[in-house]
Amino acid sequence: GDSVTQMEGPVTLSEEAFLTINCTYTATGYPSLFWYVQYPGEGLQLLLKATKADDKGSNKGFEATYRKETTSFHLEKGSVQVSDSAVYFCALTNQAGTALIFGKGTTLSVSS
């Protein structure tokens, strides 16, 4: 079945460091891909999305490119801030479009 695999965390970085969180997927058809962020004690917020191959999603300095050939959607940011500390989830839509399938999440901790 459809699935998402994210790199294990936690990821610990200093402020202004470069961030990469790896995400690969297995899916039938052509899913949409998403990155969601969850701050402590809160629900999920959509960070960015891509709906077809080679699309690049971007928001708040974060970017991810839909790579069909490598079935990947890695999240990157050139310079992280303390306020970026959160749990990041990679997700895809199932073939019916009725559900999001999430990875296990990657915890990012940024120190000043």
Partner 1 sequence: DAGVTQSPTHLIKTRGQHVTLRCSPISGHKSVSWYQQVLGQGPQFIFQYYEKEERGRGNFPDRFSARQFPNYSSELNVNALLLGDSALYLCASSQQSGTHNEQFFGPGTRLTVL
Residues that bind partner 1 (CB under 8 A): 4, 31-32, 36, 42-46, 49, 51, 89, 91, 93-94, 96-105
In this structure, what token pair is assigned to residue 42? 């809160």
Question: Minimum distance from CB of 51 to partner 1 (Å)?
Answer: 5
Question: Which one-letter DSSP state was computed for residue 89?
Answer: E
Q: What gap in Å lies between CA 42 and CA 23, rounded to an integer?
A: 23
Question: Minimum distance from CB of 79 to partner 1 (Å)?
Answer: 27
Question: Minimum distance from CB of 16 to partner 1 (Å)?
Answer: 28
Task: State which residue, 67 or 105, has the beta carbon closest to partner 1.
Answer: 105
Place of tokens 């296990």: 104
Angle at CA of residue 102, ends 100 and 104, nearest 5°: 165
In this structure, what token pair is assigned to residue 105? 């999440």
Question: Of 85, 89, 86, nearest to 101 (Cα)?
Answer: 89
Instruction: Find the radius of gyration of the CA atoms of the chain.
Output: 13
Task: State which residue, 62 or 89, has the beta carbon closest to partner 1.
Answer: 89
Task: State which residue, 17 or 101, has the beta carbon closest to partner 1.
Answer: 101
Task: State which residue, 32 or 109, has the beta carbon closest to partner 1.
Answer: 32
Question: Minimum distance from CB of 19 to partner 1 (Å)?
Answer: 19
